[in-house]
Chains A and B, each alone.
Chain A
Amino acid sequence: MNWSLIFFNSIYTAISAASAGYCLIAVGLNVHAGYTGLLNFGQAGFAAIGAYALAVPIVEFGWPWWLALIVVLVCSVLFAVLLGLPTLRLRADYLAIVTIAAAEIIRIVLRSVRFTWLTGGSDGVNGFTSTFEGWNRDYFFGDRIFKFGAQSIDGYRLFMMLVGWLLVAIVSFLLWRLMRSPWGRVLRSIREDEDAARSLGKNVFAFKMQSLVLGGVIGSIGGVVFALQQQSAQSDQFRTNLTFFAYTIVVLGGLARILGPIAGTLIFYFVMQLTDNLLDQATRNETLPTWLVDSGNYAQVKFIVAGIGLSLLVIFRPQGIFGDRKEQAFDVR
């Protein structure tokens, strides 16, 4: 077993640019589910919109990067409004049903044969990162390869790591300000009991809509970071399980905590990658019996093992890393 590589690779995965993208997706979901109590099961849809609304205008229409970013904002706001208008006046479960379906519709349309001319079908969209690669070449790390223990990182990935986590920091700081303001207080009151908020003169629908838009936009920025570091927008990476991973991350870190999704992301991707590496190595030199796990199925077994690990964490620390046990006690209604 190459312990050094297993260790450094697992750490690197947790702090990589991809994880920063996942983290932003979870931060957005925390605004919905953690602070407002909105059960959005379509966060992957917002991430997909982020990736494609950036990539398509640059590649297909030759638009500059900043105009593409504006397209990302406009599209994610529109998507949020479209989801919210029919559902936010209804019970919470309607939002869950509509969002899970809407996100799948987005993904299936993006990969459909009919729109291959625009979105590249199952090949996705490539070649939209030249501006960003240029910034790295001219002002940052260039093509140098960096060593992180036994793990090597190329310049562009390191650059995106920096950009991604910087975005996480900025977004988290702004959210921290916002959630301590009276605006954030209204969101939490809606999570606790929306009729009480109404009886005190709060326009619950408007606040829910603002929350849905804000968390959605943050999620789409996560999609942007993810596509940029990968230098490709791939529709099949925005499946429903991405949303469930984001939920796991938010619950793991602690719902409605600013640092929750950050800690959750680090732990989640470290555990996942560690399990992956261990099983990979173990099956290669047959340390584990082949009836239990072999090189053909270790990818599936990884999810079982990681799932048990995460379940244990949630059983012994149900409030998450940063949660408050006292608050958890009042959760049962």
Chain B
Amino acid sequence: MSDSPIDYILEANAVRRTFGGLTAVDVEHLQVQRNKITALIGPNGAGKTTFFNLLTGFDEPNQGNWTFDGHDMQGIAPHVAARMGMVRTFQLTKALSRMSVMENMLLGASGQKGERFFAGFGGGWRQQERENATRAEGLLDRFKLAHMRDELAGGLSGGQRKLLEMARALMTEPKMVMLDEPMAGVNPALKQSLLEHIKLLRDEGRTVLFVEHDMDMVREISDWVVVMAEGQVIAQGTADEIGADQRVIDAYLGARHDIDLGGGQ
């Protein structure tokens, strides 16, 4: 195995995004391995979410380029990125509140004939809709949401919404799933099952890139960890390597966190 070259699904070079005088993202080089779970960590304001937005086309960089699965992604629209197999979730969960759980799921399916205006009048889409519904039922079962299928998504709990968002993303048959803080606001009981779901994504051949603050979770499931601070990638490695890296500790806690400032004297 060691002599076969590592297969990268995503490669980014010199990606830079500034807001006025603030440089939010300034990533020299980043690679994401195919079929692995990569964690993107860093203190608040490190530019993780902005970097996510850039990669998925939701924001435009001032400079830089990146490829996904061999395609140049420069200036690409978010919906095109999604169709290419790069699907994301959001930090603030975007459940479509006034639509049922099932409708949320069906919306996710790609290449729907019935989404063309004139096809909508007819019934030619129904066969495909039934197939999508079957697939959606399967995913809802897997994410333990099957009993909620006809409820409005607005009535789900915060954790259930996270699950729904992930299940809905899977309806697009993505190659790479990008999760923005999947654990935020999720109760501890649900966390473990979320972790299992994420591992399952890798096991079925998908690549996962996720932003997270929870170090326990990062240590438990990630194959590779990338640390960002002040817009830059400051370290990367396995979870154990990162845990011992002084630069990472400094970035999170400040370089002088162990120096007694002598306030007591």
Q: Which positions 84-127 of chain B face chain A at CB distance < 8 Å?
A: 87-90, 94-99, 103, 106-108, 110, 112-117, 119-121, 125
The answer for the CA separation of A185 and B89 in the assembled complex, in Å, is 20
Residues of B within 8 A of A198 (CB): 58, 77-79, 82
Is the beta-carbon distance between B96 and A199 smaller than 8 angstroms? no
Q: Does B154 contact A (CB under 8 A)?
A: yes
Residues of B within 8 A of A174 (CB): 121
Q: How far does the Cβ of A80 sit from chain B's closest Cβ, in whole Å?
A: 13
Please, how many angstroms separate the alpha-carbon atoms of A181 and B120 in the complex? Answer: 5
Are B120 and A196 in touch, CB under 8 angstroms?
A: no
Pairwise interchain contact A196-B106, C-beta atoms closer than 8 A: no
Contact A195 B98 (CB under 8 A): no
* Residue B207 at the chain A interface, CB threshold 8 Å: no
Interface presence of B56 (CB below 8 A): yes
Q: A196-B94, A199-B56 are in contact. Are A182 and B110 (CB under 8 A)?
A: no
Name which residue of chain B comes closest to A211, CB basis. B117
Contact among A183, A195, A203, A327 for B58, CB-based, below 8 A: A195
Contact A189 to B107, CB < 8 A, known contacts A177-B121, A330-B154: yes
The answer to whether A178 touches B120 (Cβ under 8 A) is: yes
In the complex, which of the residues B87, B113, B117, B125 contacts A199, with contact meaning CB atoms closer than 8 Å? B87
Residues of A contacting B36 with CB < 8 Å?
A: none
Q: A183-B115, A200-B168 are in contact. Are A195 and B90 (CB under 8 A)?
A: yes
- Give the interface size class of chain A: 20 to 34
Let me know if A326 is at the binding interface, CB within 8 A: yes
- State A174–B256 Cα separation when bound (angstroms): 69
Residue of B nearest to A201 (CB): B82
Whether B119 pairs with A183 at a CB distance below 8 angstroms is yes
Contact with A along B21-36 (1 / 0, CB 8 A): 0000000000000000
Residue of B nearest to A331 (CB): B98
B120–A184 touching, CB < 8 Å: yes
Does B129 interact with chain A (Cβ within 8 Å)? yes
| Residue ID in chain A nearest B171 by CB atoms | A200
With A199-B56, A329-B154 already in contact, the answer to whether A183 and B114 are too (CB < 8 A) is yes
Complex alpha-carbon distance, A175 and B170, angstroms: 30
Cβ-defined contact, B120 with A182, below 8 A: yes
A333 and B99 alpha carbons, distance in the complex (Å)? 15
Q: Indicate if the CB atoms of B97 and A199 lie closer than 8 Å.
A: no
The reply on A138 being an interface residue by CB < 8 A is: no
Task: Decide: B129 and A200 in contact? CB cutoff 8 A.
Answer: no
Contact of B87 among A183, A200, A330 (CB under 8 A): A200
A28 smallest CB distance to B (angstroms)? 15
A108 within 8 A of B: no
The yes or no answer to A137 lying at the interface (CB within 8 A) is: no
Distance in Å: Cβ of B24 to nearest Cβ of chain A: 18
Nearest chain B CB to A197's CB is how many angstroms away? 7
- Kindly report which residue of chain A lies nearest to residue B168, judged by CB atoms: A200
User: Which residues from chain B contact A333 at a C-beta distance below 8 Å?
Assistant: 97
Task: Identify which of A182, A202, A203, A214 gathers the most chain B CB atoms within 10 Å of its CB.
Answer: A182
CB of B172 within 8 A of chain A?
yes
Closest partner residue, chain B, to A198 (CB atom): B78
Q: Are A203 and B79 neighbours in the complex by a CB distance under 8 Å? A: yes
- Asked if A60 is at the interface of the complex by the 8 Å CB criterion, the answer is no
Which residues from B are CB-within-8-Å of A184?
A: 120
In A294-333, which residues have CB < 8 Å from any B CB? 326-327, 329-331, 333
Any chain A CB within 8 A of the CB of B176?
no
Query: Which A residues lie within 8 Å of B89 (CB)?
Result: 199
| Closest A residue to B112 using CB positions | A182
Alpha-carbon gap, A207 to B7, bound state (A): 37
CB B71 to nearest CB in A, in angstroms, measures: 15
Known contacts: A200-B169, A327-B152. The answer to whether A182 contacts B106 by CB under 8 A is yes
Q: Is the CB of B79 within 8 A of A186?
A: no
Closest Cβ neighbor of A204 among chain B residues: B79
Residues in B with CB closer than 8 Å to A214 are 117
- CB-CB < 8 A to A199: which residues of B? 56, 58, 78, 82, 87-90, 94, 169
A13 within 8 A of B: no
A186 to B, closest residue via Cβ: B115
Q: A195-B58, A199-B169 are in contact. List 6 more A-B contacts (CB 8 A).
A: A182-B120, A199-B87, A199-B94, A200-B172, A326-B155, A330-B154
What are 7 A-B contacts defined by CB distance under 8 Å?
A181-B115, A182-B115, A183-B115, A199-B58, A200-B79, A202-B115, A330-B97
The residues of B with any CB-CB pair to A shorter than 8 Å are 56, 58, 77-80, 82-83, 87-90, 94-99, 103, 106-108, 110, 112-117, 119-121, 125, 129, 152, 154-155, 168-169, 171-172
What are the 6 tightest A-B residue pairs by CB atom distance, in nearest-first order? A330-B154, A181-B120, A183-B120, A182-B114, A201-B82, A196-B94
